[in-house]
């Protein structure tokens, strides 16, 4: 049993080594689950009582999965897919079977749902598409498919047995056509050529500034989850980095990263930007990003628990180390510090106190450092509604979490995904209020959620007054094309200022 668990962890770590960005955090979440002794304890107890290892593991996981799926909490129901994957992965090592299907080049992979690790194990370089009868575009797999340019249609709600034969996937319209007619295939080929032309235009647009049709400049920045994403990127495609996630430094380690390790990474990122602003978010552990030995275990809803800045303030030793590394890295570029999951103004005050103390300590020790701008993510409704009460030096709207908290609809729950629309009226009103508040205070405001890189959402975001968007590097070209098609002067009052 223990050998199979270790082998499954090794499988996932091998995938992590071949992955970048958000994929790493998703896989590390699964590693953390497998390394949590509480998960496997019922199986070991059953083995001690005489059960075979495979039967003990299967029974233990079925009970665990049933508990997740029966939960009233959307977060736990959505995590069921991770547990199914872990169940099958360990079971494969116990029984000597294989877990990965062989995918022919260009095939459409069809499933009820697909675990992130299964998706990442497929060689998508040879083409193909993904179709899920369950799941949603905002799930972990949906995010991975989008970031890699894999056509995907999810939440079809049909019997998987119906999906056989030849088929066409139109991810733009969210359509799967099984056994298409010759006329349909011909139209599909024409649409595919048009889409290829659009992609070529987007690639060209990526190297140009973001400007609307009426000449309004829009700052385009990058969301980075791993510095390896920057290796082949030209800094000229962006106006800076709007979000550097730092969780990658804390996952899959025997010990927490020390100051020197963090400083080295932050310095490289700052130097890559060549003077452009680099906004680095302090550790946002918790929720779907647990860190063994740091984040609390056993919370009934980790998304609403001790996470983000709450965790940093609860662990000032860890927080101070990160702040010192960031202050030192700021001498090598235009670094700004952003605090995640801020709810009350007093949390910002407490964080600023710790930051000022580290500035003074570094100066006293004669260590080169620079005081930087301190801002907050607006991703909790309480912070959005009371944005005028926060003495921050900049705002960054995290539309992903803000939307699911406002709409009470989980991003990973296919049945309610239509409710988690980041451009619904309630969200547009919040964006506009935060933008107006920032302008009145003469501070910068940007949006760094998925909506920022969605061409369909961009016109409505700009209509709220947003003038800075941060997104995954792969989305920059398409976003700039969408921006170039917007004429803010020609918009009607209702389009420009949603009421």
3-state secondary structure of 272: helix
Q: Where are the alpha helices (DSSP H) in 315-407?
A: 316-329, 345-364, 381-385, 399-407
The C-alpha atoms of residue 396 and residue 144 are separated, in whole angstroms, by 23
The C-alpha atoms of residue 25 and residue 291 are separated, in whole angstroms, by 10
- Report yes or no: 294 and 254 within 8 Å, Cβ to Cβ: no
3-state secondary structure of 105: coil
Residues annotated catalytic, as ranges:
140, 448
| Vertex 329: Cα angle to 325 and 294 (nearest 5) | 25
**Residue 338 bridge partners (DSSP):** 281, 375
Q: Where are the alpha helices (DSSP H) in 49-181?
A: 53-69, 74-78, 80-95, 116-121, 140-147
- Report yes or no: 449 and 480 within 8 Å, Cβ to Cβ: no
**Running DSSP on this structure, what letter comes out for residue 248?**
G
CB atoms within 10 A of CB 354: 15
**Going by DSSP bridges, is the β-strand pair 394-397/444-447 parallel, antiparallel, or unpaired?**
parallel
| 290 CB-near residues (< 8 Å, 6+ apart) | 29, 32, 297, 302
- Report yes or no: 82 and 34 within 8 Å, Cβ to Cβ: no
The C-alpha atoms of residue 175 and residue 167 are separated, in whole angstroms, by 10
Q: 312 φ, ψ to 5°?
A: -60, -40
| 390 CB-near residues (< 8 Å, 6+ apart) | 342, 345, 348, 376, 383
**Residue 280 bridge partners (DSSP):** 244, 337
The C-alpha atoms of residue 379 and residue 401 are separated, in whole angstroms, by 6
Q: Phi-psi region for residue 408, left (φ > 0), alpha (ψ -120 to 50) or beta? A: left
- Report yes or no: 23 and 116 within 8 Å, Cβ to Cβ: yes
- Report yes or no: 449 and 400 within 8 Å, Cβ to Cβ: yes
Q: Distances in Å between the alpha carbon of 262 and those of 232, 246, 258, 269, 353? A: 22, 9, 6, 11, 21
Exposure string for 220-234, b = 16+ CB within 10 A, e = fewer: bbbbbbbbebbeeee
């Amino acid at each position: 049993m223990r050998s199979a668990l270790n082998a499954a962890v090794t499988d996932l770590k091998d995938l992590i080594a071949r992955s970048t960005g958000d994929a790493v955090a998703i896989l590390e979440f699964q590693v953390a689950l497998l390394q949590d002794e509480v998960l496997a304890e019922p199986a070991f107890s059953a083995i001690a009582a005489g059960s075979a290892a495979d039967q003990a593991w299967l029974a233990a996981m079925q009970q665990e999965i049933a508990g997740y799926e029966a939960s009233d909490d959307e977060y736990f129901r959505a995590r069921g897919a991770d547990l199914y994957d872990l169940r099958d992965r360990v079971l494969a090592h116990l029984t000597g079977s294989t877990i990965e299907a062989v995918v022919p080049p260009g095939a459409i992979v069809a499933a009820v749902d697909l675990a992130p690790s299964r998706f990442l194990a497929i060689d998508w370089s040879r083409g193909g598409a993904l179709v899920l009868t369950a799941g949603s575009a905002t799930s972990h797999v949906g995010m991975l498919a989008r970031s890699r340019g894999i056509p995907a249609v999810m939440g079809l709600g049909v019997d998987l047995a119906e999906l056989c034969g030849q088929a066409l996937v139109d991810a733009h319209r969210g359509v799967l056509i099984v056994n298409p007619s010759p006329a349909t295939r011909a139209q599909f080929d024409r649409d595919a050529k048009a889409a290829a032309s659009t992609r070529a235009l987007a690639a060209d647009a990526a190297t140009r500034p973001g400007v609307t049709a009426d000449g309004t400049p829009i700052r385009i920045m990058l969301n980075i989850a791993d510095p390896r994403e920057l290796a082949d990127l030209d800094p000229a495609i962006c106006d800076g980095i709007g979000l550097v996630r730092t969780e990658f430094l804390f996952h899959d380690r025997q010990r927490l990263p020390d100051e020197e390790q963090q400083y080295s990474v932050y310095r490289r990122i700052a130097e890559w930007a060549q003077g452009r602003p680099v906004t680095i978010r302090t550790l946002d552990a918790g929720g779907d990003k647990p860190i063994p030995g740091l984040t609390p275990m056993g919370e009934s809803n980790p998304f609403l628990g001790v996470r983000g800045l709450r965790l940093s303030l609860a662990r000032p030793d860890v927080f101070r180390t990160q702040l010192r590394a960031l202050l030192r890295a700021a001498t090598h570029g235009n670094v700004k510090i952003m605090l995640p999951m801020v709810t009350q103004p007093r949390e910002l005050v407490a964080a600023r106190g710790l930051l000022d103390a580290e500035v003074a300590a570094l100066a006293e020790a004669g260590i080169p450092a620079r005081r930087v701008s301190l801002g907050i993510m607006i991703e909790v409704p309480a912070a959005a509604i009371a944005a005028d009460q926060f003495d921050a030096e900049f705002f960054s709207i995290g539309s992903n979490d803000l939307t699911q908290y406002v709409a009470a609809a989980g991003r990973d729950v296919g049945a309610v995904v239509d409710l988690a629309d980041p451009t619904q009226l309630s969200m547009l009103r919040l964006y506009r209020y935060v933008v107006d508040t920032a302008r009145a205070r003469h501070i910068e405001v940007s949006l760094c959620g998925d909506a920022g890189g969605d061409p369909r959402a961009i016109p409505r975001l700009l209509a709220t007054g947003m003038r800075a968007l941060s997104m995954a590097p792969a989305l920059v070209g398409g976003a700039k094309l969408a921006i170039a098609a917007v004429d803010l002067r020609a918009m009607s009052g209702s389009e420009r200022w949603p009421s």
